[in-house]
Structure 1
């Protein structure tokens, strides 16, 4: 009986090379993804502060004066109560009709 050495499949070396290439691609991709998360969080916080400023202006138009705090906007249903005082761990405050984000 003759045995054929014509089996199809990957050798161990080929598999190791593929795993090595995949590892390199992952090492390149992960830092780029984490940078984008930080950028997205900052832009989201900036957008939220702009939205709160819009609600401050809407409050002034409706009530005739600027709100003195975020709580005042929440009480009048201009903002939802959940987490509207913070953004990315920073405090959002209103001073003389201007919204500011500070540590």
Structure 2
């Protein structure tokens, strides 16, 4: 009779798997709050840049009358998408100054 050779397969033990899962969960606990903070920071910078763009266009309009988003779009100072965003997000113009929405 021939002897059957048992192959020795290397495998992870349960303890090794638990340690790896613990390390992965620990990294996720550190990374997820940081991603959320970065998202809010990027959004606030985007809003400030958009408000600055709107203010620049209002300043360039050079009209003594009260200006509106529709006038700025009609005279090609703003694009249709900029006008739509300014209206939908609640930006207003008071005495030549762009006022951002209350968030």
TM-score tier, shorter chain, comes to 0.7 to 0.9
Q: Secondary structure of the residue that 1:99 maps to in structure 2?
A: strand
TM-score normalised according to structure 2 size: 0.78
TM-score normalised according to structure 1 size: 0.78
Number of residue equivalences: 97
Higher strand proportion: 1
- Are residues 59 and 67 of structure 1, via their aligned partners in 2, closer, same or farther at CA, if it must alter by over 3 Å? farther
Distance 2:34 2:41 in 1: 11
Question: Which structure would you say has the larger Rg?
Answer: 2
**Pairwise CA distance, 1:77:** 1.8
Q: Which runs of 4+ in 1 moved over 4 A?
A: none
Higher helix proportion: 2
5+ residue gaps, structure 2, are none
RMSD: 2.1
What do the CA deviations read for 1:16-69 (whole angstroms, capped 9, x no partner)? 211111011111111110011111111100110001111112211xxx436522
